[in-house]
């Protein structure tokens, strides 16, 4: 989405902003101006508009649509060349000045594995919940946490402090590979997610454990199990991901 927005918006001027949700009324003035850059910090999009920075967090159901909206938008941006709509049925998306960004490290940073090994030495919480905590690791949600841990053969309930340095290195090599593959396929669509052009994310066709409970593991044939971990569905292979 960041890359699509860079292609469509950078160098263009946002002329009019239409907030249809009163909660987003302040965006009317904040979003006007020339878009100088679009960047990403984990799950947060950062827009440089004229001389100030704005953040957009899409939440669980938010997405952006170029052209005609396919659902009633919460907000619309008219810019030189078209209109972009914020589609957000659950109304979790937030727009504001840049502050309070998550403090975690991006999985694509070279030093991520060593950095997290040092931070996690005394953390006993399960590794899956650690990976999804944006103050430790940026940008990994439930789907990708399940898929990354399966490919790394790490049990999602394993205490974070139990991972050795070589396991952290493997984990983040796999994390980068999974995320790069998912990005190339526009993410994962089960219900509402679409990219800027309204196309579904096709990474769902590559999923190996997520939402595959009671189906055979692609590696060993054991039935995939689903359990709750801190209120979130967690899918794993009880054979390939044995807890040491």
Q: Residues 102-142: pLDDT tens digits?
A: 889 999 999 999 999 999 999 999 999 999 999 999 999 99
The pLDDT assigned to 243 comes to 79
User: Of the candidates 159, 105, 146, which has an alpha carbon nearest to the alpha carbon of residue 240?
Assistant: 146
pLDDT at 75 over 90: yes
Q: Residues 211-228: pLDDT tens digits?
A: 999 999 999 999 999 999
| Contact by Cβ (8 Å): 87, 93 | no
The pLDDT assigned to 28 comes to 87
| Contact by Cβ (8 Å): 241, 154 | yes
pLDDT at 244 over 70: no
Query: How confident is residue 154, by pLDDT bands cut at 50, 70 and 90?
Result: very high
């Amino acid at each position: 989405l960041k890359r699509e927005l860079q292609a469509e918006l950078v160098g263009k001027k946002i002329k009019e902003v239409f907030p249809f949700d009163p909660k987003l009324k302040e965006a009317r003035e904040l979003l006007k101006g020339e878009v100088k850059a679009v960047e990403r910090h984990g799950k947060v999009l950062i827009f440089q508009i004229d001389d100030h920075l704005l953040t957009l967090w899409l939440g669980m159901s938010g997405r952006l649509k170029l052209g005609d909206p396919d659902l009633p938008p919460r907000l619309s941006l008219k810019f030189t060349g078209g209109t972009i709509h914020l589609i957000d049925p659950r109304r979790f998306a937030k727009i504001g000045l840049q502050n309070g960004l998550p403090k975690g490290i991006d999985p694509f940073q070279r030093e991520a594995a060593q950095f997290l090994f040092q931070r996690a030495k005394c953390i006993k919480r399960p590794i899956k919940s650690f990976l999804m905590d944006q103050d430790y690791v940026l940008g990994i949600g439930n789907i990708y946490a399940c898929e990354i841990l399966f490919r790394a053969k790490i049990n999602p309930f394993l205490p974070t402090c139990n991972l050795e340095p070589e396991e952290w290195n493997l984990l983040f090599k796999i994390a980068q590979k999974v995320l790069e593959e998912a990005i190339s396929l526009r993410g994962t669509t089960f219900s509402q997610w679409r990219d800027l052009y309204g196309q579904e994310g096709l990474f769902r066709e590559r999923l190996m454990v997520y939402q595959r409970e009671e189906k055979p593991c692609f590696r060993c044939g054991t039935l995939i199990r689903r359990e709750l971990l801190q209120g979130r569905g967690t899918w794993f292979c009880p054979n390939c991901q044995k807890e040491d």
